[in-house]
Each structure stands twice: as structure tokens, then as C-alpha cells.
């Protein structure tokens, strides 16, 4: 029997002698990788179609509103801004697009890593599972925050530039700036935490996206249907003239309607938006759920927001804390 000969090749391998940047550099690298993954950077053109398309969808309403404002300004003057949604309304206009973006893009950050079983490669020291989650969350949060602010920036620029006196407009509306910034953080947190928590329980991105969109549609439909207010007017006539009239409004669930309205996922941030911008809804201006929730104390919408962000965050953390090398 012929013995096999062994041969050693000198391939020039050398020990790494560069700087060891430690845990912080690993976190930044994971954050950078998350941003590039969501935006499709470094991948084919098809991977960029969806994020770019959704980004344009968020910006488009603001561009349309500013265009309308530019055409109406010579005719209506300072009253032109009353014909388009303002900063207090814009987040409600794009909320559906943001939900879709979160449902589709958030699973891109977690599902492939778990499906391909590469988490042990990430979690070698010095990274921990908490580092992984924080970096992934911050990457997605940063992208959503840019989306949330982008439309408001375009809208604000249009409102300022078309004002007859820009200085007076800024002086009269400067309070909108901190409101926009604060509300943007709340919306970005809500859009980021929930979809990431759902994605943590499946390795299929399509399943996670379908579940999020289905839950959003189902809860919104149920809450709006049960809180819809039907009003019946009765007029009492005498001698050919109206003596008096009464209007009676009823809801399918009666006095429970305001609490049922809290189940509306789309209304979680809309209700806070109305509080932050001090919006008083007139009949027919908001969804049935929002109109019903407006009857409650402000503590209820705030508590619901804390639950809808806190519970998914705890589930996400609990799901990954058990992962060990």
C-alpha cells in the first residue's frame, strides 16, 4: 500500500498586527451592515427598488402639497396653506406607507441571519446578543427616522418659501419644529420595534411581512367597524314649520367604543400626534377609532403606545437573550 505524501505550502499567512478596535468598532460595523442591508447597498439593482420606491412614496405627498401651494399662492395669498395638510396632518397621511415599509424591510435585518445560522459568527466575543439587537434596531430606527422627517422637511420648506413674510411665518409657527422632531421619534420607534419583534419569531421574511400587514388591517377594520357612529336626526313639525329637531348618535358597542378604538394600530401614533399638535378633531375629520379615543383622557393613548412598543421590545429581547454560542 502506497503511503500518501504530505507537503506544506508557505502561503505567506501572517498574524494580524493592526489595531484592535474592540467592542465599539464591532457595534458600528454591525450598524453599518444593517443600514446597507435595508437600503440594498452593495447588492444588485433589484434590492434597491423597494426601499427607493417606498422612500419616494413618503416624499411624494409633500412634493404634491408644495406644488399645489405654489400654484395657489398667487391666488389665495397667505390663505393658500389652509388648502393643504399641515405639519400636524402629514404624519397621518404617510402612516400607511410607513407601516408597509416597516412590515417589508424590518425582517430583512433578522430573518436571513437566523435562517442561515450565522448568528454564532456575529456573537463571538466581544459582541453579545444585546449588542446585536441594539445595532440592528438603531440601524432600522435611523432609516425610518430619515423617512419620517424627509417629508416634513420638504413640506416645511414649501410653507416657509411661499409665505408672504418668511420671518413672520417662522415666528408664528416655530413651535411646530420641536413637535415634528418629538413626534418623529415616537413614530420611528413604533414602526421599528413591532416589525422587528415579529421578525424574531420566523425565518421567512414573507411570513413576517404578511403577519404584520394582516394584523394591521384586521385590528383597524374591527376597531373602526365597532366604533363607527351612526347619527339619526328627527324633526318635529307643527303648522308647517319645524318646532324642534333632535340628533341621536349610537355606536355598535355603546360606551365601550373609546376603549375598542385603542386597538386600532394605525391610531396608536395618530392619537399621540393629535395630542402633541393640540388638534381638536371635528366630526368627520378623523377615523371612527380616533374620534372615539378623543373622548378618553390623554393617559389612555399614552399607555397604549407604551404597551405597543414596550411589550414587543421585551419579546424581542427575550427571544435573543437565550442565544448562546
Across the chain, the runs of DSSP E, i.e. the strands, are: 230-238, 241-250
Phi, psi of 320 (to 5 degrees): -95, -15
Q: Is 247 helix (H, G, I), strand (E, B) or coil?
A: strand
The pLDDT score that the predictor gives to residue 324 is 59
Q: What is the pLDDT of residues 291-305, one digit of tens each?
A: 888 888 889 999 999
pTM for the model: 0.85
Residue-by-residue DSSP string for 113-170: HHHTT-HHHHTSTT--HHHHHHHHHHHHHHHHHHHHHHHHHHHHHHHHHTSSSHHHHH
The pLDDT score that the predictor gives to residue 253 is 74
Measuring CA to CA, how many Å separate 200 from each of 235, 291, 314?
58, 34, 12
Cβ(227)–Cβ(183) below 8 Å: no
Residue 150: exposed, middle, or buried by beta-carbon count in 10 A (0-12, 13-18, 19+)? Answer: middle
The pLDDT score that the predictor gives to residue 247 is 60
Q: Any residues with CB less than 8 A from the CB of 174 and at least 6 apart, and which?
A: none
Write out residues in the chain with pLDDT < 50, as ranges. 325
Q: Is 235 helix (H, G, I), strand (E, B) or coil?
A: strand
Task: Dihedral sign for Cα 293, 299, 302, 308, please.
Answer: negative
The pLDDT score that the predictor gives to residue 231 is 65
The pLDDT score that the predictor gives to residue 100 is 92
Amino acid at each position: 500500500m502506497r503511503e500518501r505524501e504530505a507537503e506544506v505550502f508557505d502561503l505567506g499567512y501572517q498574524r494580524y498586527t493592526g489595531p484592535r478596535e474592540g467592542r465599539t468598532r464591532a457595534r458600528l460595523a454591525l450598524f453599518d451592515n444593517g443600514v446597507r442591508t435595508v437600503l440594498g447597498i452593495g447588492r444588485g439593482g433589484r434590492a434597491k427598488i423597494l426601499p427607493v420606491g417606498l422612500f419616494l412614496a413618503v416624499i411624494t405627498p409633500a412634493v404634491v402639497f408644495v406644488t399645489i401651494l405654489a400654484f395657489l399662492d398667487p391666488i389665495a395669498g397667505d390663505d393658500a396653506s389652509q388648502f393643504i395638510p399641515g405639519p400636524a396632518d402629514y404624519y397621518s397621511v404617510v402612516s400607511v406607507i410607513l407601516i408597509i415599509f416597516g412590515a417589508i424591510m424590518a425582517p430583512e435585518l433578522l430573518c436571513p441571519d437566523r435562517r442561515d445560522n450565522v448568528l454564532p459568527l456575529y456573537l463571538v466575543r466581544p459582541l453579545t446578543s444585546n449588542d446585536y439587537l441594539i445595532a440592528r434596531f438603531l440601524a432600522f430606527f435611523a432609516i425610518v427616522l430619515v423617512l419620517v422627517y424627509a417629508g416634513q422637511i420638504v413640506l416645511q420648506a414649501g410653507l416657509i418659501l411661499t409665505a408672504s413674510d418668511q420671518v413672520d411665518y417662522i415666528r408664528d409657527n416655530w413651535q411646530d419644529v420641536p413637535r415634528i422632531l418629538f413626534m418623529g421619534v415616537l413614530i420611528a420607534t413604533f414602526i421599528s420595534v413591532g416589525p422587528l419583534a415579529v421578525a424574531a419569531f420566523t425565518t421567512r421574511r414573507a411570513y413576517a411581512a404578511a403577519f404584520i400587514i394582516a394584523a394591521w388591517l384586521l385590528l383597524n377594520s374591527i376597531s373602526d367597524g365597532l366604533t363607527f357612529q351612526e347619527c339619526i336626526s328627527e324633526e318635529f313639525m307643527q303648522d308647517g314649520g319645524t318646532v324642534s329637531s333632535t340628533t341621536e348618535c349610537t355606536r355598535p358597542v355603546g360606551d365601550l367604543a373609546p376603549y375598542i378604538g385603542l386597538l386600532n394600530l394605525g391610531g396608536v401614533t395618530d392619537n399621540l400626534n393629535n395630542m402633541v399638535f393640540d388638534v381638536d378633531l371635528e366630526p368627520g375629520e378623523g377615523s371612527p377609532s380616533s374620534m372615539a379615543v378623543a373622548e378618553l383622557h390623554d393617559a389612555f393613548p399614552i399607555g397604549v403606545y407604551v404597551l405597543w412598543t414596550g411589550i414587543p421590545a421585551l419579546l424581542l429581547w427575550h427571544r435573543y437573550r437565550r442565544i448562546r454560542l
